[in-house]
């Protein structure tokens, strides 16, 4: 019960943090670390721009669709899966988020 | 009861080796020709005669099951292989999610021969194969290129009572390796809230692996063992607040545990 509460409060904290601070690549990376840990239990230290989503972080194609839905909520923009076709690395995701926010 | 010795590098060829090469070739030819005829003649005629799509599909699935059963009986009769099935009853239940490892080319043939009205999830490229496209489409089999469409279509089949057959290894396993599954089956299990019936397939000696051609028949007739394990229950998605992706990972761990137990207990 106790552990559950901690978990929930943690997540609220993360979501609260993510909605605003997406101004730089570093901030986007930090946000992404939180999201990947929350969704896929990915070790935040492994989330570096060069990391491959599938080979290094064990994020498969179904996870990617869930991630895209999450990014849609995060950025408030429409995200088409097409834009994510070429995404292979964490760096690619960051670039894609930047592009979304600019449009 | 003595423990088995490791096979020598070049075991002595047993039985009618060259006959088995010929019979294997005959088997493949039969399969290809039957597929082509079904696609070019059988299914178009069926489409003309039976308008109702659900009935069409049921008939094609029934036909596939019958043909596969006939086929494995034929190659058994030709002396190419033998097989045994341990506990096939769960395979005939409605709406079962059947998950198997994939050591050889014939796995799907054995499994589908045992399962009425089976819906298979198959590699997308098979839909581009002219020998198979017609039958696959008419049987309502599901391609795996778009993961979400695949999950939706498979969940629909389960809800309608069709057993769904999946090989989550994606591709044929190398011999002597423990099966390594992708999370597609765990995803379907959690999202459709359907337990998994695990099936462990073993083929001794190994044959028709990814790196072998049809004429490379083993030194003795192979024996397929098909073991249907106890159902792996599904994690209840309604309880708790964890995201689906986390539940899927938990379910994946559960499935792998079930399989590892089957593999280890099935080893000599």
User: Cβ B246–A63 below 8 Å, yes or no?
Assistant: no
What's the gap in Å between the CA of A90 and the closest CA on chain B?
A: 18
Q: Would the pTM of this model clear 0.90, i.e. be above it?
A: no
Q: Which residue among B147, B243, B249 sits closest to A65, beta carbon to beta carbon? A: B147
Residues 66-95 in A contacting B (C-alpha not used; CB under 8 Å): 66
A55 touches chain B (CB under 8 A): no
Supply the pLDDT for residue A24: 86
Compare all CA atoms of chain B with the CA of A42 and give the residue at the minimum distance.
B246
- Cα distance between residue B122 and residue B141, in whole Å: 7
User: Cβ A60–B183 below 8 Å, yes or no?
Assistant: yes
What's the gap in Å between the CA of A49 and the closest CA on chain B?
A: 22
Q: Roughly how many angstroms between the first and final C-alpha of chain B, as a whole number?
A: 10
Give 10-residue mean pLDDT values along chain B (268 residues).
53 79 87 84 88 91 94 91 93 95 89 96 90 86 92 97 91 67 94 95 78 76 92 88 92 93 74
Q: With b meaning 16 or more CB within 10 Å and e meaning fewer, what string describes B113-125? A: bbbebbbbbbeee
Q: Count other C-beta atoms under 10 Å from residue B6's C-beta.
A: 5
Q: What is the pLDDT of residues A50-101, one digit of tens each?
A: 999 999 999 998 999 899 989 888 888 888 777 787 889 999 999 988 888 8
A39 touches chain B (CB under 8 A): yes
């Amino acid at each position: 019960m106790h552990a559950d509460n901690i978990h929930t409060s943690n997540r609220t904290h993360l979501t609260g943090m993510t909605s605003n601070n997406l101004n730089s690549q570093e901030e986007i990376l930090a946000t992404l670390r939180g999201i990947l840990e929350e969704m896929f239990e990915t070790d935040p230290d492994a989330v570096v721009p060069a990391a491959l989503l599938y080979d290094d972080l064990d994020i498969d194609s179904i996870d990617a669709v869930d991630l895209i839905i999450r990014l849609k909520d995060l950025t408030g923009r429409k995200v088409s899966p097409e834009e994510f076709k070429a995404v292979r690395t964490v760096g690619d995701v960051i670039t894609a988020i930047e592009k979304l926010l600019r449009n | 009861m003595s423990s088995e010795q490791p096979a020598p590098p070049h075991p002595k060829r047993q039985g009618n080796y060259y006959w088995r090469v010929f019979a294997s070739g005959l088997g493949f030819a039969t399969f290809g020709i039957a597929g082509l005829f079904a696609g070019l003649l059988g299914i178009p005629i069926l489409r003309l005669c039976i308008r109702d799509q659900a009935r069409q599909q049921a008939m094609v699935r029934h036909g596939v099951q019958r043909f596969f059963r006939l086929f494995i009986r034929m190659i058994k009769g030709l002396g190419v292989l033998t097989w045994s099935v341990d506990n096939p009853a769960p395979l005939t239940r409605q709406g079962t999610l059947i998950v198997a490892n994939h050591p050889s080319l014939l796995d799907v043939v054995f499994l589908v021969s045992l399962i009425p009205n089976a819906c298979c999830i198959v590699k997308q490229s098979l839909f581009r194969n002219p020998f198979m496209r017609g039958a696959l489409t008419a049987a309502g089999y599901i391609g795996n290129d778009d993961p979400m469409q695949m999950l939706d279509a498979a969940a629909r089949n389960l809800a309608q009572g069709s057993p769904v057959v999946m090989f989550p290894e994606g591709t044929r396993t190398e011999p002597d390796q423990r099966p390594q599954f992708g999370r597609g089956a765990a995803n379907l299990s959690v999202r459709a809230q359907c337990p998994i019936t695990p099936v462990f397939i073993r083929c001794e000696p190994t044959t028709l692996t990814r790196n072998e051609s049809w004429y490379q028949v083993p030194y003795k007739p192979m024996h397929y063992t098909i073991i249907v394990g106890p159902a792996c229950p599904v994690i209840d998605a309604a309880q708790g607040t964890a995201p689906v992706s986390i539940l899927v990972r938990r379910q994946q761990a559960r499935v792998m545990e079930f399989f590892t137990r089957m593999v280890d207990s099935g080893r000599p």
